[in-house]
């Protein structure tokens, strides 16, 4: 059944919110043949994710998705069959009125942030009565069948496996980015917010017994790297060597290229929500920097994920993983935690494979959304 969908996104965290909604919009078009309009209030971050886009055109089409600048002065449009309010952004009042005036009112969904907290299962799919007689339903992504699932394109896992089994394809991809690591180097990607823990980790890598090659797409963490390196600036293409560590700055790359970067690396340090999920599909050990919230509310979310993610690990491996993640997210030194993780590397690496297989067996969020709409009719 073909139907229309409007997705509204207010850009808060530069790339996190728009990264999730752009992936979702593309998948709804490509796999479910929906007519999708993506409304975004700031096109500049989007243009980094989709290089063929520009921030001047109010309406443009990419990968089958109609991209619209969300104007402050809203102009009336006909509401879609399904309306997704991403991350509690506020829909225009006039648009809500058009949703209610339809012969069949729109399905209104609030796409929530990803969380592993236990209460999510009980809240997923609950309605909330709104003005004009409309109901808004809360849609929670998650890690269990009682939630909305995770963003995962059909065939993604098979595509990743083929790529990881093809050293020549990996080498070509890295060479196109200007990356030629030593054969014995541990390849690591880093995408993060500012972090006081970074310096202690870089010290570990620089003093470590094995060569490490750190690949850093341009972003907010560059300033911390500059301080550690004691240099005034870093830009795409720069490469600095300190002891056993090579630090290389990459240009900001598309979402599809970022996936391949994660697939190439032995270890991935990620942030926020979008790269967090993509690191899990890479089937590699990873380190998550959760988006900080007031009153340290984010630490409860972090512990909730660690509780489910660490299931099946040996006590020693679980302790090494949890200690590193918690220190990384409260700005503490990781100089003892990183070596402890390396001691448990075989178990943690195998666990990343099992976790990916477990999560990829569940229904992805795009399919869950479509089924939710069909059940609602």
Q: Is the pLDDT of residue 371 over 80?
A: yes
Q: Is 17 a catalytic residue?
A: yes
Q: How confident is the model at residue 257 (pLDDT cuts 50, 70, 90)?
A: very high
| Least confident residue range of 72-76, 107-111, 280-284 | 72-76
List where CATH 3.40.50.2000 sits in the chain: 156-360
**pLDDT digits 0-9 by tens, 208-256:** 999 999 999 999 999 999 999 999 999 999 999 999 999 999 999 999 9
What single string gives the DSSP state of each residue in 24-65? HHHHHHHHH--EEEEEES-HHHHHHHSTT--SS-SEEEETTE
Q: Is the pLDDT of residue 16 over 90?
A: no
Candidates 6, 17, 112, 274; catalytic one? 17
Candidates 112, 224, 259, 273; catalytic one? 273
**Cβ-count burial 178-193 (b if 16+ within 10 Å, e if not):** ebebeeebbbbbbbbb
Q: Is the pLDDT of residue 13 over 70?
A: no
79 contacts 95 by C-beta, under 8 angstroms: yes
Q: Is the pLDDT of residue 14 over 70?
A: no
Q: Is 203 a catalytic residue?
A: no
CATH code, 4-150+362-376? 3.40.50
pLDDT of residue 26: 97
Mean pLDDT of the chain: 96
CATH code, 156-360? 3.40.50.2000
Q: Is the pLDDT of residue 360 over 70?
A: yes
CA 258 to chain centre: 10
Please, which residues bridge with residue 60 across strands? Answer: 67
pLDDT of residue 33: 97
**pLDDT digits 0-9 by tens, 158-201:** 999 999 999 999 999 999 999 999 999 999 999 999 999 999 99
**pLDDT digits 0-9 by tens, 293-323:** 888 889 999 999 999 999 999 999 999 999 9
Alpha-carbon gap, residue 208 to 205, rounded angstroms: 5
């Amino acid at each position: 059944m073909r139907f229309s969908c409007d997705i509204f996104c207010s850009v808060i965290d530069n790339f996190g919110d728009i990264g999730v909604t752009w992936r979702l919009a593309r998948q709804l078009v490509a796999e479910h043949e929906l007519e999708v309009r993506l409304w975004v209030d700031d096109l500049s971050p989007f243009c980094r994710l989709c290089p063929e886009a520009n921030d001047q055109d109010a309406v443009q089409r990419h990968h089958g998705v109609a991209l619209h600048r969300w104007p402050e002065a809203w102009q009336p449009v006909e509401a879609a069959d399904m309306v997704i309010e991403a991350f509690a952004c506020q829909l225009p009042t006039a648009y809500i009125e058009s949703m209610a005036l339809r012969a069949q009112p729109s399905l209104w969904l609030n796409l929530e942030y990803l969380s592993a907290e236990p209460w999510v299962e009980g809240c997923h799919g609950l309605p909330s009565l709104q003005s004009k007689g409309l109901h808004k339903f809360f849609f929670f992504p998650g890690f269990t069948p009682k939630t909305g699932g995770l963003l995962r394109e059909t065939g993604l896992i098979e595509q990743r496996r083929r790529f990881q089994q093809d050293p020549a394809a990996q080498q070509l991809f890295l060479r196109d980015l200007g990356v030629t690591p030593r054969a014995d180097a541990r390849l690591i990607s880093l995408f993060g917010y500012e972090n006081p823990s970074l310096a202690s980790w870089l010290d570990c890598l620089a003093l470590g017994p094995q060569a490490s090659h750190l690949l850093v797409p341009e972003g907010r963490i560059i300033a911390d790297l500059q301080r550690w390196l004691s240099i005034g600036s870093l830009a795409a293409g720069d490469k600095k060597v300190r002891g056993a560590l090579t630090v290389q700055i990459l240009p900001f790359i598309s979402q599809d290229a970022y996936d391949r970067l994660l697939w190439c690396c032995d270890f991935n340090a990620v942030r926020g929500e979008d790269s967090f999920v993509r690191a899990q599909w890479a089937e590699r050990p990873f380190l998550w920097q959760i988006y900080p919230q007031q009153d340290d509310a984010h630490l409860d979310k972090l512990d909730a994920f660690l509780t489910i993610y660490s299931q099946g690990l040996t006590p020693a491996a679980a302790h090494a993983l949890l200690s590193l993640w918690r220190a990384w997210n409260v700005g503490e030194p990781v100089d003892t935690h990183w070596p402890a993780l390396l001691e448990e590397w075989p178990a943690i690496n195998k666990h990343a494979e099992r976790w990916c297989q477990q999560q990829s067996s569940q229904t992805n969020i795009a399919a869950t959304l479509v089924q939710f709409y069909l059940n609602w009719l």
